[in-house]
Amino acid sequence: MQLLYVGLFGALGCLARYLLSSWVHGLAAVPIPFGTLAVNVLGSLAIGLLMGGDLHHPLLGGNLRIGLAVGFLGGFTTFSTFSYETVRLMEAGQIGAALFNALLNVVLCLLAAWGGIAVARQF
């Protein structure tokens, strides 16, 4: 049953990532891939909220929690695209943009996850 939840939620997460990332990428013509940054930060916040709160006050059943965390958020966030886009920036000679992109992704995602956990623990 968990595989069904992971698969179905994963498909929804992939679609959500594509839609949000495409929309954000279309907002600004800059070298930094802000669409990927947006999905990764939002996904990091969401996993912090979901898992941080659920560890203290389980609200979701095991299958639903796994479906959301592993399936939806696993499909929604994308470390591989972040890595690829950063390497492409380096190959294009945009070393500063590549380093800035890497720093933004790592720092903002960690802060978002931490913030989500902190908020979830208040409830």
- Residue 59: the pLDDT is 66
Distance, CA of 97 to chain centre = 20
Helices 34-56 and 95-120 pack at an angle, to 10 degrees, of: 20
- Domain boundary assignment for the chain: 2-120
Q: For residue 30, what pLDDT is reported?
A: 87
Q: What is the mean pLDDT of each run of 10 residues along the chain (123 residues)?
A: 96 98 91 95 96 71 89 97 98 98 98 96 86
What pLDDT score does 109 carry? Answer: 98
Look at residue 4 in the predicted model and tell me its pLDDT. 97
d(CA 21, CA 33): 9
pLDDT at 113: 98
Find tokens 């898992």 and name the residue: 51
- Residue 16: predicted pLDDT: 98
Closest by CA to 111, choosing from 69, 38, 33, 48, is: 48
CB–CB of 60/48 below 8 Å? Answer: no
